[in-house]
């Protein structure tokens, strides 16, 4: 069956319990870019002007805004943005990261991301775009899966308004809106009513979900204990987290 790409817009509200990280301004911010950390496997990158992907020369590198990141089978990575927002990338994922003083735009072409978004300043925006969706965020924790150009959204913290926009005569027009909150999931399909449901127990026991919830707990603890040195301590504790082994979670 031929896939039909239906653009939608997903607007995510702010929950009271979102992470409020203190900004740790490093070299990545000075370059208007971000830090890429390889957790495991083959992780490749290219800058916006490059034609081909290249292997990472080290386990952590700084990249300018507009760069692309690609993980292979069995590979995992994370992206630190200048404001300490953190994006986890699963295997077989490809994204482009665009950043300026007030906005972040993640172009998610395929795969899975887990997004821990800082509280965005007034006038700013954090968006994740897929082949069929746009998620505009102020500050929350949510996952986005793109498989065969179909998008799923699941929220662990925050409130989400999901609006599907249909293409009619080349113009995107709003079709239907539903609201999601923590522990809710929605599949964006080209036909039928938009449906929400609780995140199922079998989804919560999957390795990707369990690992990211464990990382969320590290963030929450460090946010409370040492917000000034959050970035440095996160790097140390996440390295230890990886050393204990992915299958331990």
Within a domain: residue 17?
yes
pTM assigned to the model: 0.81
Residue 199's pLDDT band, with cuts at 50, 70 and 90, is very high
Whether the per-residue pLDDT at 31 is higher than 60: the answer is no
Within a domain: residue 221?
no
Within a domain: residue 39?
yes
Residue 150 contacts by C-beta under 8 Å, 6 or more apart in sequence? 3, 132, 187, 188, 189
CATH code of the domain covering residue 161: 2.60.120.1440
Q: What is the pLDDT of residues 110-123, one digit of tens each?
A: 999 999 887 666 66
Whether the per-residue pLDDT at 163 is higher than 80: the answer is no
* Mean pLDDT of all residues belonging to the chain: 80
Within a domain: residue 243?
no
Domain that holds residue 56: 8-201
How many angstroms separate the CA atoms of 234 and 84, rounded? 10
The total number of structural domains in the chain stands at: 1
């Amino acid at each position: 069956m031929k896939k039909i790409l239906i653009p939608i817009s997903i607007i995510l509200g702010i929950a009271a319990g979102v992470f409020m990280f203190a900004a740790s301004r490093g070299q990545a911010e000075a370059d208007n870019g971000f830090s890429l950390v390889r957790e495991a496997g083959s992780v490749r990158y290219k800058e916006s002007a490059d034609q081909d992907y290249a292997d990472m020369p080290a386990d952590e590198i700084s990249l300018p805004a507009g760069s692309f990141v690609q993980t292979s089978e069995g590979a995992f990575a994370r992206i630190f943005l200048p404001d300490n927002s953190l994006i986890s990338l699963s295997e077989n994922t490809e994204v482009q990261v665009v950043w300026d003083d007030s906005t972040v735009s993640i172009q998610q072409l395929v795969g899975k991301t887990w997004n821990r978004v800082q509280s965005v300043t007034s006038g700013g925006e954090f968006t994740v775009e897929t082949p069929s969706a746009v998620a505009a965020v102020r500050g929350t924790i949510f996952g986005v899966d793109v498989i065969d150009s179909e998008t799923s959204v699941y929220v662990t913290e925050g409130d989400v308004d999901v609006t599907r926009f249909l293409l009619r005569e080349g113009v995107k027009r709003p079709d239907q809106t539903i609201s999601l909150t923590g522990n809710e999931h929605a599949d964006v399909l080209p036909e039928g009513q938009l449906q929400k449901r609780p995140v199922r127990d079998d989804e919560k026991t999957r390795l990707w979900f369990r690992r990211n919830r464990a990382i969320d707990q590290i963030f929450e603890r460090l946010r409370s204990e040492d917000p000034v040195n959050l970035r440095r301590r996160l790097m140390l504790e996440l390295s230890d987290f990886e050393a204990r082994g992915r299958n331990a979670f």
